[in-house]
């Protein structure tokens, strides 16, 4: 049937074509959109959400959710910046990453081993970690006084070969994560658990252990993001990471990773996050008010996921 | 399901079993007892009246959420819908008058709920994705409409409606209880209610039984959106202003309240009674902690901890009932 062919064609390339059309339209109506400078600028802007999304993709492929990454980003950034002032950058980074692993392990314990509902557990953690952040900071903002001289500025504020370091970190962590997901036993287990948990348990893959490690990766990626964010801002407010979990999820979904688990990839997530970034940047360059991008994000998510589903079942309507 | 063969033991265990199944009332009783002992101000008519009013906003959102959850779906957009209806109810007053503006606010909620329902039912997407998109988009609309500023009501007599009390019960709290009772009746005594349970319990069986799944899902999402708008209107009356950030992350508190009450996220199981229990427990916890002058972070941490404990308890209890 032609309509089926059309749909499957749309599914394969439609999103990219639509995105390319959008890029072209913006490029024609503005001067600077496709300049190297602007592209690097957008990539730098999305590097923090992108970094988190790379980790959270593991969780989503196992068929779970992680709504705690925004609060976790806040807590880790506050911790990192404060410790930077007390024990120096290196120890602060080690401590932050260790804390990230600990928080991820806690999520993983509850969702993986105790088999509690992922949505509710990470929702509870969202609230709990907000409280923990306020407890730690006493409600005040922290700043790094020697922002111009500390080598900590490398992660968020410097360039390497003309490319911003956050972008390099984002892309290299993405490459490593893609390797882990596609070329290692653990990666296969992540897909197996998300695809059919019962079957994977029967074939000797512990779903509890796989989910546990997926949450640790999600948290660890959030730790990396905290390093970039802390270094970029050279300070931390108690709400700095609020709402990141939504953008992260929106990017993952837009990339086409299924919320039911079992499918998806790192490059899809990177693409989804980048698309969000370019849409946002393009709308701003074209002179639309800031919040129009949220409206457009809504429309794009619905259309993208609907096309994806329609392609899979060969029909537009469920 | 208890598989007791002996009627005798079922009888002696019935109260215990009821409390196990409805453990939220145990929580609520415990919370009330603790705060009554800890603060002399807690168990006063004034304070109870406050608790009811404060809880009622999340409560009205939770009424709609309960219906959607029993259907096996979720609605993340209620906080944003609430903000939009608040903004419209206040922002449009000057152009079209008070009551038309209120109606417009309500209509926006119903329309957006309907839209969520239609997209969920016809696209086959999970409602988590549909309403996550809506949460982002509708909040965007609110910011565009309000110009990122708080809108102020021009005629302050509008705020007097919120001051209507029936004894110690404010109109907001009364609305919550009446809506909860009404929709409990809908759930248990109408075809729509029974079929909502059937869909959440086993969607394929419901489909095979000839139940129009799409219709029921759309109805429940529309009710959920309307409830969010009702809460938004009441909030606009209470505050006299419309903040673009109104209701931010209230969808999370709402989900927490409903799940705390014992309604299952997986669908097919729940009631408005449970939701009332969950809403009131949350409200009592927040109020009590504030009366004791605990800092804000304690509240956030207690909420998180209570939610995880409730999940653990639910896990333990349901495995116990299954083992019996």
Contact check, Cβ <8 Å, B308/A301: no
A234 has a pLDDT exceeding 60: yes
* Residues B89/B102, Cβ–Cβ less than 8 Å: yes
Round to whole Å and give the CA distance between A174 and A38. 21
pLDDT of residue A290: 87
pLDDT in tens, A73-104: 999 999 999 998 889 889 999 999 999 999 99
Round to whole Å and give the CA distance between B91 and B161. 17
A151 has a pLDDT exceeding 90: no
Round to whole Å and give the CA distance between B225 and A244. 25
Those residues whose C-beta lies under 8 Å from the C-beta of residue B17, and which sit 6 or more positions away, are: B2, B10
Best mutation target among B76, B301, B305, B315 (most A Cβ atoms within 10 Å) is B301
Q: How many CB pairs lie under 8 A apart between chains A and B?
A: 148
Domain count, chain B: 1
User: Which residues in chain B have their CB less than 8 angstroms from residue A123's CB?
Assistant: 252, 255-256, 307
B304 has a pLDDT exceeding 90: no
Residue at B267 is within a domain: yes
Q: Average pLDDT, stretch A120-132?
A: 90
| DSSP symbols for A130-172 | HHHHHHHHTT--EE-TTTTT-GGGHHHH-EETTEEHHHHHHHH
Q: How confident is the model at residue B9 (pLDDT cuts 50, 70, 90)?
A: low
B321 has a pLDDT exceeding 60: no
Q: What is the ipTM of this complex?
A: 0.86
* Residues B175/B234, Cβ–Cβ less than 8 Å: yes
B184 has a pLDDT exceeding 80: yes
Pick from A18, A94, A98, A3: which is nearest to A278 by CA?
Answer: A18
Burial of B155 (0-12, 13-18, 19+ CB in 10 A): exposed
Contact check, Cβ <8 Å, B129/A121: no
User: Which residues in chain B have their CB less than 8 angstroms from residue A71's CB?
Assistant: none
Residue at B12 is within a domain: no
pLDDT in tens, A176-215: 999 999 999 999 999 999 988 888 888 888 899 999 999 9
Residue at B278 is within a domain: yes
In angstroms, the separation between the Cα of residue A273 and the nearest Cα of chain B is 15
Q: Average pLDDT, stretch B273-302?
A: 90
A64 has a pLDDT exceeding 60: yes
B8 has a pLDDT exceeding 80: no
In angstroms, the separation between the Cα of residue A127 and the nearest Cα of chain B is 5
Instruction: Specify which residues A164 forms β-bridges with.
Output: A159
pLDDT of residue A2: 53
pLDDT of residue A71: 93
Q: Report the interhelical angle of B250-261 vs B23-38 (nearest 10°).
A: 110
Contact check, Cβ <8 Å, A134/B300: yes
pLDDT in tens, B221-265: 999 999 999 999 999 999 999 999 898 889 888 998 998 888 888
Q: How confident is the model at residue B1 (pLDDT cuts 50, 70, 90)?
A: very low
Domains and CATH numbers, chain A: 35-289 (1.10.3470)
Token duo for residue B95: 């152009």
Lowest mean pLDDT among A267-271, B129-133, B277-281, B312-316: B312-316
pLDDT of residue B324: 42
Residue at B57 is within a domain: yes
Pick from A79, A82, A116, A119: which is nearest to A96 by CA?
Answer: A79
Residue at B281 is within a domain: yes
Contact check, Cβ <8 Å, B137/A298: yes
Q: Average pLDDT, stretch A149-159?
A: 83
pLDDT of residue A237: 87
Round to whole Å and give the CA distance between A281 and A279. 6
Question: According to DSSP H, which parts of chain A are helical?
Answer: 2-9, 15-29, 36-61, 69-87, 89-108, 118-137, 154-157, 165-183, 185-195, 197-202, 207-233, 244-255, 266-285, 292-313
Q: How confident is the model at residue A3 (pLDDT cuts 50, 70, 90)?
A: low
Q: Where are the beta strands (DSSP E) in B124-272?
A: 151-152, 165-166, 169-170, 241-242
Higher pLDDT, A162 or A133: A133
Q: How confident is the model at residue B323 (pLDDT cuts 50, 70, 90)?
A: very low
Q: Report the interhelical angle of A185-195 vs A165-183 (nearest 10°).
A: 70
Q: How confident is the model at residue B290 (pLDDT cuts 50, 70, 90)?
A: confident
**B210 C-beta neighbours (distance < 10 Å), count:** 7
pLDDT in tens, B113-128: 999 999 999 998 889 8
User: Which residues in chain A have their CB less than 8 angstroms from residue B308's CB?
Assistant: 110, 116, 120-121, 124
**A198 C-beta neighbours (distance < 10 Å), count:** 8
* CA closest to A247 among chain B residues: B136
Among B119, B137, B300, the residue with its CB nearest the CB of A127 is: B300
* Residues A194/A262, Cβ–Cβ less than 8 Å: yes
User: Which residues in chain B have their CB less than 8 angstroms from residue A299's CB?
Assistant: 133, 137
* Residues A210/A195, Cβ–Cβ less than 8 Å: no
Those residues whose C-beta lies under 8 Å from the C-beta of residue B10, and which sit 6 or more positions away, are: B2, B4, B17
User: What is the span of the domain harbouring residue B140?
Assistant: 40-293
Contact check, Cβ <8 Å, A305/B125: yes
pLDDT of residue B155: 82
Token duo for residue A302: 């619905």
A59 has a pLDDT exceeding 50: yes
CATH number, domain with residue B192:
1.10.3470
Q: How confident is the model at residue B17 (pLDDT cuts 50, 70, 90)?
A: confident
* Residues A72/A241, Cβ–Cβ less than 8 Å: yes
Token duo for residue A62: 């196992």
Q: Average pLDDT, stretch A242-251?
A: 89
Residue at B84 is within a domain: yes
- Angular region, B75: left φ>0, alpha ψ -120 to 50, beta rest: beta
Higher pLDDT, A152 or A183: A183
Round to whole Å and give the CA distance between A16 and A168. 24
Q: How confident is the model at residue A8 (pLDDT cuts 50, 70, 90)?
A: low
pLDDT of residue B25: 87
Round to whole Å and give the CA distance between A170 and A168. 5
Residue B40 host element (H or E): none
Q: How confident is the model at residue A270 (pLDDT cuts 50, 70, 90)?
A: very high
B77 has a pLDDT exceeding 60: yes
Q: Average pLDDT, stretch A218-242?
A: 91
Contact check, Cβ <8 Å, A291/B143: yes
In B, what residues contact A, Cβ < 8 A? 74, 119, 121-126, 128-130, 132-141, 143-144, 148, 252, 255-256, 259, 265, 295-305, 307-308, 311-312, 315
Residue at B35 is within a domain: no
Residue at B210 is within a domain: yes
């Amino acid at each position: 049937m032609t309509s089926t062919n059309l749909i499957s064609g749309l599914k394969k390339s439609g999103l990219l074509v639509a995105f390319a059309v959008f890029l072209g339209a913006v490029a024609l109506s503005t001067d600077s959109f496709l300049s190297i400078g602007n592209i690097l600028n957008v990539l730098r802007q999305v590097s923090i959400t992108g970094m988190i999304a790379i980790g959270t993709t593991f969780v989503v492929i196992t068929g779970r959710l992680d709504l705690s990454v925004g609060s976790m980003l806040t807590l880790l950034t506050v911790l990192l910046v404060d410790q930077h002032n007390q024990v120096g950058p290196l120890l602060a980074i080690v401590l932050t990453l260790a804390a990230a692993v600990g928080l991820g392990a806690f999520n993983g314990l509850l969702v993986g081993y105790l088999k509690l509902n992922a949505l509710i557990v990470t929702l509870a953690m969202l609230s709990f970690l907000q409280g923990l952040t306020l407890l730690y900071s006493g409600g005040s903002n922290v700043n790094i006084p020697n922002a111009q001289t500390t080598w900590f500025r490398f992660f968020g504020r410097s360039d390497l070969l003309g490319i911003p370091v956050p972008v390099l970190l984002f892309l290299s962590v993405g490459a490593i994560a893609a390797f882990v997901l596609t070329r290692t036993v653990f990666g296969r287990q992540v897909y197996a658990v998300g695809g059919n948990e019962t079957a994977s348990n029967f074939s000797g893959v512990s779903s509890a252990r796989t989910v546990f490690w997926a949450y640790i990766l999600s948290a660890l990626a959030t730790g990396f993001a905290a390093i970039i964010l802390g270094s970029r801002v050279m300070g931390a407010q108690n709400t700095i990471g609020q709402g990141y979990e939504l953008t992260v999820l929106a990017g993952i979904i837009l990339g086409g990773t299924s919320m039911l688990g079992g499918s998806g990839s790192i490059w899809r997530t990177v693409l989804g996050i980048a698309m969000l970034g370019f849409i946002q940047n393009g709308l701003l360059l074209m002179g639309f008010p800031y919040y129009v991008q949220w409206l457009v994000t809504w429309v794009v998510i619905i259309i993208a996921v609907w096309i994806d589903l329609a392609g899979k079942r060969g029909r537009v309507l469920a | 399901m208890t598989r007791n063969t002996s009627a005798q033991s079922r009888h002696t265990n019935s109260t215990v079993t009821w409390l196990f199944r409805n453990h939220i009332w145990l929580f609520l009783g415990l919370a009330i007892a603790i705060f009554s002992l800890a603060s002399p101000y807690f168990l006063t008519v004034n304070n109870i009246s406050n608790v009811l009013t404060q809880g009622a906003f999340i409560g009205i959102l939770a009424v709609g959420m309960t219906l959607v959850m029993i259907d096996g779906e979720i609605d993340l957009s209620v906080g944003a819908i609430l903000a939009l209806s608040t903004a419209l109810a206040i922002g449009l007053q000057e152009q079209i008058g008070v009551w038309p503006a209120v109606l417009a606010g309500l209509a926006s909620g119903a329309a957006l709920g309907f839209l969520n329902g239609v997209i969920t039912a016809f696209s086959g997407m999970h409602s988590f994705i549909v309403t996550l998109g809506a949460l982002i988009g509708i909040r965007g609309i609110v910011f565009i409409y309000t110009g990122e500023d708080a809108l102020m009501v021009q005629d302050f007599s509008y705020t007097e409606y919120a001051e209507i009390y029936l004894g110690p019960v404010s109109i907001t709290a009364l609305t919550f209880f009446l809506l909860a009772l009404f929709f409990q009746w809908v759930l248990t005594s109408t075809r729509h209610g029974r079929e909502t349970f059937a869909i959440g319990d086993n969607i394929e069986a419901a489909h095979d039984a000839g139940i129009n799944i799409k219709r029921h899902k759309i109805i429940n999402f529309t009710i959920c959106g309307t409830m969010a708008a009702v809460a938004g209107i009441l909030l606009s009356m209470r505050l006299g202003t419309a903040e673009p950030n109104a209701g931010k992350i209230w969808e999370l508190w709402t989900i927490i309240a409903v799940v705390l009450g014992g309604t299952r996220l997986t669908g097919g199981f729940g009631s408005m009674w449970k939701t009332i229990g969950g809403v009131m427990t949350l409200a009592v916890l927040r109020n009590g902690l504030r009366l004791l002058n605990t800092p804000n972070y304690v509240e956030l941490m207690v909420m998180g901890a209570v939610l995880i404990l409730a999940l653990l308890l639910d896990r333990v209890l349901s495995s116990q009932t299954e083992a019996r």
